[in-house]
Chains A and B, each alone.
Chain A
Amino acid sequence: MAKRQRTIVGENLTPTLLTELGAVDKFPRTPANFQPNGNWMNKYRIWTCHGYRESGNENVGSLRITRRVDSKKTFVLEVRQEIVQTGGLTNVIEGTIKCRYDQLASPIEWNLLSQFSGPSGKIISELGFRNHGVAAESVTHTAGDWCLFEAVQRLAFDKKSSLSFDLLEGMSLSKLGHRLFYRRTYPMKTDGQSIHLHCFGQLGSGILPYEYWLDNRHRLLAVISMNKAYVLDQ
């Protein structure tokens, strides 16, 4: 039997490459009333790349983040992440994160529930886990990874835009020594028109570099880290 030919991607994923690999058809147009510091909902498809052009790349879940303003100094992020595993097992993490209205969207208090369901959709109660956390008053310079999806939309497209912080991944794992910084503009064609995207980078312990890609209206269209991409669907 002839060996299947596969082409190694060879380079880091970008929005253009996501289009070439079939992960993106077109990015949704940002609504006229979109305000990064207002109420909004972004839903991302989670797409993974095995490193070949022809095969092994797939959607494995979704992430929905809803921002709700609840005071002048705080807002609430409603988060729902779904990861589909082999054999129809699904992990859903759902809950709320109350954040300070500061540059990092610093978490104040969070309530999250992790649950697994089997192929039939029935919840596997033995694997559920509730995570309730409160940040002490003394906590500064800490950001949640989901919170950064919000915070990055409020940053200026400027080389001076940089943040230093410790990461609280999944609101449960502490990863120290992170920085987020503006990288560049990036021309691409989508939906028959030429647009300029803006890219922020994130480096730090416990992660491969993250890149946040935003449109001119500051809406976050894609987040890419090595072999995974969050692609805005709606």
Chain B
Amino acid sequence: MKLGGAAVALVADGTLTKRAFAGRKDRKPKPGNILLIYTDQQHIDTIAAGGCRHVRTPALDRLKRSSVSFAQSYSANPVCSPARSAVFTGRTSCETSVYKNGIPIRSDIPNIGQWFSQHTDYETFYAGKWHLPKTYTSKIPGFKVINTGIGGFGYLCDTAMSRACEGFIENRSKSKPFLLVASFMQPHDICEWLRLNMNNPGKLRYPELAGELPELPENFQFDKNEPQSTGKRRSGNEPFKGNWDKEHWQYYRWSYYRHIEHLDAEIGRILSALEDRGYINDTLIVLTSDHGEGMGHHQMVRKSSFYDEAAKVPLLFSWPGHIVEDKADTVHLTSGMDIMPTLCDYASINSPPRMRGVTLRPILEGGSGQSRDCIVSEGNTNTGRMVRTREFKYIKYVNDPVEQLFNMEDDPGETRNLAADLHYAAALSEHRKLLAGHEASLDVPRDIPHTEFWRTRA
């Protein structure tokens, strides 16, 4: 039996030495391989090299330093399955029919595995969480599944999954290019953490952590006049059921960062395998997440909110020698829907028709790129929309009279709703029009709930 393997040596600083890597010097417009690292519920500000001082993330740091990372990167729908459908098709979640969790992508829209299988010489592989509709499955259209993961338990699931990816990379013949999706469960285990820590214990479980807990965010308080669905979601979550105090909120934030570090180590395993095998300089690496995490901002936890903490996601692209290194792009608005057209661009193929995302390649390679007016994200069960322009964020829910408008330049914490302020009436009107224009361009099946509500706004 053929087996990959790596000889490693543990050195005094606790790191592992790796085999020296001989990088390629020739430039090619098309990467030898593509690795899409997909995380679950990762807040955008969870990378030490990006300024997060509460985590140790050597793998993400390394990736970030070789990447363009987008600071204005939004999930197309901050819920698992809908977000995934948009990433893997480049279409809005409602267009794909995945307006809530556990629904398959509509059959006439190809996913990236199907499209690449048909139009490129990349072999397409998938490892880990899918959730379209089954969370873990050995059958994914367009992909050969090399690892299925384990339902619900990221701590064990991701370790086995990354080990499978490690073995895959080590054993693979270099003769054929691959597209590999490594889809992690972490840091989604914070959901289990919430259920296992719902009841406020009244004292810090580990006194040893006193003095180490992260502070509460500046926008911890919330607006009492929010849309009903936002308030309802908050009050149904564990912190309110369990009557959390400040220290328990802080412990939750501390615990979330440990989940991030676990994820980082498993990502590091795959990156090290790429490096050991000599693939790292010829592999386009993309990292993103399906949605973010509330982390106590606005006293929210988990996902399904249009506040930046849940709606924003990390988005990094790395290809040494081709993509600008260590650049934080704070200008361009991006969506999860941009990944499909960007990868098609790098694979030198046309995107499927009716792409809603755009290729980011010009930006990644140092050009000025497209300049979008706005991006639109959809909400769970098709009951909400978020319109983000450079200056403002507009949020609207079905059958809720309360709209939200935030000036994201003056108030990035989204603490002052300007929608009822006459001074911003023109901005509000402009954003309503942008949403209407967007809705008019979509191809949403009529059986998706609330389709008419959004269509009539056009």
Residues of A within 8 A of B (CB): 8-13, 46, 48-52, 56, 60-61, 83-87, 89, 91, 93, 107, 113-114, 116, 123-136, 138-140, 142, 166, 168-170, 172-177, 179, 181, 201, 203, 205-209, 225-228
The answer to whether B156 touches A125 (Cβ under 8 A) is no
The answer to whether B150 touches A133 (Cβ under 8 A) is no
The answer to whether B193 touches A206 (Cβ under 8 A) is no
Q: List 16 A-B contacts (CB under 8 A).
A: A10-B199, A12-B196, A49-B192, A51-B196, A107-B10, A127-B146, A127-B168, A131-B5, A133-B8, A168-B10, A173-B268, A174-B16, A175-B261, A205-B261, A207-B261, A226-B192
Closest residue to A52 on the B side, CB-wise? B195
Interface centre among B12, B189, B268 (most CB of A within 10 A): B12
The answer to whether B2 touches A51 (Cβ under 8 A) is no
Q: Which residues of B contact A136 (CB under 8 A)?
A: 9-12
Q: Which residues of A contact B171 (CB under 8 A)?
A: 125-128
Nearest Cβ in chain B — how far from A32, in angstroms? 34
Q: Which residues of B contact A87 (CB under 8 A)?
A: 136-138, 148
Chain B: how many interface residues by the 8 Å CB criterion? 68
Q: Which residues of A contact B209 (CB under 8 A)?
A: 203
The answer to whether A85 touches B149 (Cβ under 8 A) is yes
The answer to whether B9 touches A133 (Cβ under 8 A) is yes
Option from B8, B160, B258 in Cβ contact (under 8 Å) with A205? B258
A124 and B192 CA atoms in complex are apart in Å by 31
Nearest Cβ in chain B — how far from A53, in angstroms? 10
Closest residue to B10 on the A side, CB-wise? A135
The answer to whether B14 touches A173 (Cβ under 8 A) is no
Option from A138, A174, A207 in Cβ contact (under 8 Å) with B15? A174
Q: Which residues of A contact B149 (CB under 8 A)?
A: 85-86
Given contacts A125-B1, A208-B193, contact A12 B205 (CB under 8 A): yes
The answer to whether B14 touches A166 (Cβ under 8 A) is yes
Q: Which residues of B contact A131 (CB under 8 A)?
A: 5-6, 8
Nearest Cβ in chain A — how far from B344, in angstroms? 27
Option from B152, B167, B197, B198 in Cβ contact (under 8 Å) with A114? B167
Closest residue to B7 on the A side, CB-wise? A132
The answer to whether B2 touches A125 (Cβ under 8 A) is yes
The answer to whether B138 touches A83 (Cβ under 8 A) is no
The answer to whether A51 touches B192 (Cβ under 8 A) is yes
Given contacts A51-B194, A129-B166, A130-B3, contact A228 B152 (CB under 8 A): no
Using a CB-CB cutoff of 8 Å, which residues 134-181 of chain B contact chain A?
136-138, 146-153, 155-157, 159-160, 163-164, 166-168, 170-172
Nearest Cβ in chain A — how far from B12, in angstroms? 4
A201 and B157 CA atoms in complex are apart in Å by 24
Using a CB-CB cutoff of 8 Å, which residues 1-52 of chain B contact chain A?
1-12, 14-16
A61 and B69 CA atoms in complex are apart in Å by 38
Q: Which residues of B contact A207 (CB under 8 A)?
A: 258, 261-262
Option from A138, A175, A177, A203 in Cβ contact (under 8 Å) with B206? A203
- A8-B241, A86-B150, A206-B258 known; 12 new pairs, CB 8 Å cut-off, are A51-B191, A91-B160, A113-B3, A116-B147, A129-B4, A135-B10, A139-B12, A174-B15, A201-B206, A203-B208, A206-B261, A209-B206
Option from B4, B152, B172 in Cβ contact (under 8 Å) with A56? B152
Given contacts A116-B147, A126-B168, A208-B255, contact A11 B197 (CB under 8 A): yes
Nearest Cβ in chain A — how far from B310, in angstroms? 20
A181 and B11 CA atoms in complex are apart in Å by 25
Q: Which residues of A contact B163 (CB under 8 A)?
A: 91, 93, 114, 127, 129
Indicate with 1 or 0, residue by residue over B381-420, a CB within 8 angstroms of chain A CB atoms.
Answer: 0000000000000000000000000000000000000000
Nearest Cβ in chain B — how far from A200, in angstroms? 12
The answer to whether B148 touches A48 (Cβ under 8 A) is no
Q: Does B56 contact A (CB under 8 A)?
A: yes
Nearest Cβ in chain A — how far from B201, in angstroms? 7
Nearest Cβ in chain A — how far from B48, in angstroms? 11
Q: Does B438 contact A (CB under 8 A)?
A: no
Nearest Cβ in chain A — how far from B113, in angstroms? 18
A128 and B4 CA atoms in complex are apart in Å by 6
Nearest Cβ in chain A — how far from B129, in angstroms? 10
Q: Does B303 contact A (CB under 8 A)?
A: no
Option from A61, A126, A176, A227 in Cβ contact (under 8 Å) with B14? A176
